[in-house]
């Protein structure tokens, strides 16, 4: 048995206490118990299209995902979110599930086409009523609502007018944000504008994997700009409708690691990091688009040498509006190899397989990268607070003969990544909360129902929910307010 040392973290503006276990003698063979402060937010996350179902209920309009799912070959199992977890009708049961697990905050998203079926104009009160009931139910059970305004289900009517590629969609987003916060702002005080602008722009408009399934660089970069702009414009409107609100945006990160120290691999890593991470972080934190990436995109012919054509005077000032927190989504890292023939490159020194573990998404499990990412964001960008708004893993879970779901790899992932959050807090990062992705198994976009991310298993035929072992681990962790580092980790 190794000795256990207890270390305490501090949130946000509190001063982090010194950490003898990390720096003192004997630290290397001590198993640590990292204690989170009382105010740390323990949550789970979902999104509207992935769980709600009921696409035609109460006047909801069509979204780009309804349309995309009908495209032959777009979704691996040919499915859609038409039923999903039937959460629209079962939300009370799902809130009770969270309550039983001791979950203190719930990050969900609001479906824009329920609120404004045509994207702008007439507000559909019945659509807003659903979220109002959800919020009331959460509050009744002591769970803090943490809504995201946009988690990818754009009204199809706006897509028909050009979608995020046109500036008027950013204006429509502000109208939508105003309608929602005016209705819910008396009870909801935490708001996330967007989920993952990289996915909204590059994954959906350049790689074509997500709705609307386009493959065009100039369009993707215009989309990224309008999404960021709509964030910047919406923040003051949300604050006006909801006094004292905390407002932020969620970005997703795929930290890039060079496969070798060759010049080619280092440069490819810079580019990967620039495209995925810095392109979004820099403007949100008051900088412009990174100059090296503008040069790369111009050299590739994606934009003119003068820069992104969608940018107008004043846009960067709007996008850089100070926020109250940054939402960080992290799942995996990327080992980057330059696209030069292997014979012309140096031997790889960073290799993922076979030592690493891989989820059913094909994503490498790597919590050290998560720790380094959180520290880097803190040191390079200084957000006031960081909420981990998504983190989780998919495994081939089944309900066993004992009626339970044994998912030790998810539990190990959760524990390792929570420990990384704790270590980042010890290093001074303003860690304010953690939302496990996901509360429920759900519709995993282009992967349909083939990926199970939930800490709660969903039998889609019966809609029966079964908390997995990882949910029970999470419940116990929340109750303890502390994480035991895996004694095997790092040894």
395 is a site residue for ligand FCB (CB under 6 A): no
When the beta carbons of 276 and 316 are compared against ligand FCB, the nearer one is 276
411 is a site residue for ligand FCB (CB under 6 A): no
Helices (H), 274-393: 279-284, 291-299, 315-319, 367-381
Instruction: Pick the binder of ligand FCB from 65, 325, 445, 449 (CB under 6 A).
Output: 445
When the beta carbons of 9 and 438 are compared against ligand FCB, the nearer one is 438
Q: Do 221 and 302 meet the contact criterion of CB atoms below 8 Å apart?
A: yes
| Token pair of 224 as six digits | 């990224």
Minimal distance, residue 65 CB to ligand FCB, in Å: 11
- How many binding residues for ligand FCB (CB under 6 A)? 12
443 is a site residue for ligand FCB (CB under 6 A): no
When the beta carbons of 405 and 440 are compared against ligand FCB, the nearer one is 440
Only segment of 64-72, 93-101, 218-226, 437-445 that touches ligand FCB (CB under 6 A)? 437-445
Tell me which DSSP letter residue 155 carries: B
Q: Do 35 and 476 meet the contact criterion of CB atoms below 8 Å apart?
A: no
Phi, psi (deg, nearest 5) at residue 10: -125, 150
Minimal distance, residue 154 CB to ligand FCB, in Å: 14
When the beta carbons of 273 and 444 are compared against ligand FCB, the nearer one is 444
Minimal distance, residue 444 CB to ligand FCB, in Å: 5
316 is a site residue for ligand FCB (CB under 6 A): no
Instruction: Pick the binder of ligand FCB from 252, 262, 369, 470 (CB under 6 A).
Output: 252
453 is a site residue for ligand FCB (CB under 6 A): yes
3-state helix, strand, coil in the chain (%, to 5): 40, 15, 45
Sheet arrangement for strand 482-484: 4-8, 31-35, 482-484
Instruction: Pick the binder of ligand FCB from 94, 153, 196, 446 (CB under 6 A).
Output: 196
364 is catalytic: no
Which is the catalytic residue, given 52, 62, 196, 254?
196
390 is a site residue for ligand FCB (CB under 6 A): yes
Minimal distance, residue 49 CB to ligand FCB, in Å: 9
Instruction: Pick the binder of ligand FCB from 68, 146, 434, 437 (CB under 6 A).
Output: 437
Bridge partners, residue 33, by sequence: 6, 484
The answer for residues whose C-beta is within 8 angstroms of residue 477's C-beta and 6 or more apart is: 42, 414, 415, 418, 483
| Token pair of 116 as six digits | 């404004």
- In the three-class reduction of DSSP (H, G, I as helix; E, B as strand; rest coil), residue 482 is classed as strand
Minimal distance, residue 397 CB to ligand FCB, in Å: 15
Bridge partners, residue 144, by sequence: 105
When the beta carbons of 66 and 390 are compared against ligand FCB, the nearer one is 390
Instruction: Pick the binder of ligand FCB from 7, 199, 336, 388 (CB under 6 A).
Output: 199
The vertex-138 CA angle with 136 and 139, nearest 5°, equals 65
Burial of 369 from C-beta contacts in 10 A (0-12 / 13-18 / 19+)? buried
Instruction: Pick the binder of ligand FCB from 66, 254, 444, 485 (CB under 6 A).
Output: 444
108 is a site residue for ligand FCB (CB under 6 A): no
374 is a site residue for ligand FCB (CB under 6 A): no
Minimal distance, residue 203 CB to ligand FCB, in Å: 8
Distance of alpha carbon 436 from alpha carbon 456, whole angstroms: 11
Binding mask 36-75 for ligand FCB (x = CB under 6 A): -----------x--x-------------------------
Q: Which helix (H) or strand (E) holds 471?
A: helix 469-480
Nearest CA-CA partner of 48 in 165, 142, 163, 130? 130
- Rounded to the nearest angstrom, the gap between the alpha carbon of residue 428 and the centroid of all alpha carbons in its chain is 22
For residue 139, CA distances in Å to 90, 142, 162, 178, 401 come to 17, 5, 38, 22, 36
Q: Do 226 and 167 meet the contact criterion of CB atoms below 8 Å apart?
A: yes
52 is catalytic: no
181 is a site residue for ligand FCB (CB under 6 A): no
Helices (H), 427-468: none
86 is a site residue for ligand FCB (CB under 6 A): no
272 is a site residue for ligand FCB (CB under 6 A): no
In sequence order, what DSSP letters do the residues of 1-69 get, joined into one string? Answer: ---EEEEE---TTSPPPP-HHHHSTTGGG-EEEEEPPTT-EEEEE--HHHH---TTGGGPPPBHHHHHH
Minimal distance, residue 443 CB to ligand FCB, in Å: 9
When the beta carbons of 36 and 445 are compared against ligand FCB, the nearer one is 445
| Token pair of 380 as six digits | 């390079």
When the beta carbons of 169 and 250 are compared against ligand FCB, the nearer one is 250
Which is the catalytic residue, given 390, 444, 446, 485?
390
Only segment of 195-203, 221-229, 236-244, 427-435 that touches ligand FCB (CB under 6 A)? 195-203
**What residues act catalytically?**
196, 390
Which residues form the interface with ligand FCB (CB under 6 A)? 47, 50, 195-196, 199, 252, 329, 390, 437, 444-445, 453
């Amino acid at each position: 048995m190794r000795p256990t040392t207890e270390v305490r973290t501090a949130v946000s503006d509190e001063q982090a206490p010194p950490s003898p276990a990390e720096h003192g003698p004997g630290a290397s063979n001590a198993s640590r118990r990292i204690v989170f402060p009382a105010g740390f937010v323990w949550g789970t996350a979902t999104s509207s299209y992935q769980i709600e179902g009921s696409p035609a209920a109460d006047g909801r309009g069509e979204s780009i995902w309804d349309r995309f799912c009908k495209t032959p070959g777009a979704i691996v199992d040919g499915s859609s979110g038409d039923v999903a977890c039937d959460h629209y009708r079962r939300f009370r049961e799902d809130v009770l599930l969270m309550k039983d697990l001791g979950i203190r905050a719930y990050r969900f998203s609001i479906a824009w086409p329920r609120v404004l079926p045509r994207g702008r104009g007439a507000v559909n009160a019945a659509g807003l009523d659903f979220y109002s009931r959800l919020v009331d139910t959460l509050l009744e059970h002591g769970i803090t609502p943490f809504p995201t305004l946009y988690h990818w289900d754009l009204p199809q009517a706006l897509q028909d007018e050009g979608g995020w590629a046109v500036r008027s969609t950013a204006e429509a987003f502000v109208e939508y944000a105003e309608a929602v916060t005016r209705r819910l702002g008396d009870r909801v005080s935490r708001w996330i504008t967007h989920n993952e602008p990289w996915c909204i722009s590059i994954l959906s408009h350049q790689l074509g994997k997500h709705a609307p399934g386009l493959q065009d660089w100039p369009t993707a970069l215009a989309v990224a700009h309008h999404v960021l702009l709509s964030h910047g414009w919406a923040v003051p409107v949300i604050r006006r409708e909801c006094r004292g609100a905390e407002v932020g945006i969620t970005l997703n990160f795929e930290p890039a690691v060079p496969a070798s120290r060759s010049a080619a691999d280092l440069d490819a890593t810079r580019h990967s990091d620039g495209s995925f991470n810095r392109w979004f972080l820099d403007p949100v934190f008051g900088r412009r688009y990174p100059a090296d990436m503008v040069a790369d995109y111009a050299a590739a012919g994606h934009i003119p040498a003068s820069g992104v054509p969608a940018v107008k005077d004043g846009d960067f000032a709007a996008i850089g509006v100070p926020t109250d927190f940054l939402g960080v989504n992290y799942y995996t890292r990327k080992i980057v190899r330059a696209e030069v023939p292997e014979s012309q490159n140096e031997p790889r020194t960073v290799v993922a397989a076979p030592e690493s573990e891989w989820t059913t998404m094909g994503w490498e499990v790597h919590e050290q990268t998560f720790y380094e990412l959180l520290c880097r964001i803190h040191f390079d960008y200084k957000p006031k607070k960081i909420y981990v708004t998504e983190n989780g893993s998919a495994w081939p879970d089944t309900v066993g003969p004992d009626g339970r779901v044994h998912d030790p790899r998810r539990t190990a992932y959760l524990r390792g990544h929570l420990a990384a959050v704790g270590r980042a807090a010890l290093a001074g990062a303003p860690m304010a909360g953690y939302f496990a992705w996901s509360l429920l198994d759900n519709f995993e976009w282009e992967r349909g129902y083939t990926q199970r991310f939930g800490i709660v298993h969903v039998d889609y035929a019966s809609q029966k929910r079964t908390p997995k072992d990882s949910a029970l681990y999470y419940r116990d962790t929340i109750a303890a307010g502390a994480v035991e580092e895996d004694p095997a980790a790092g040894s």
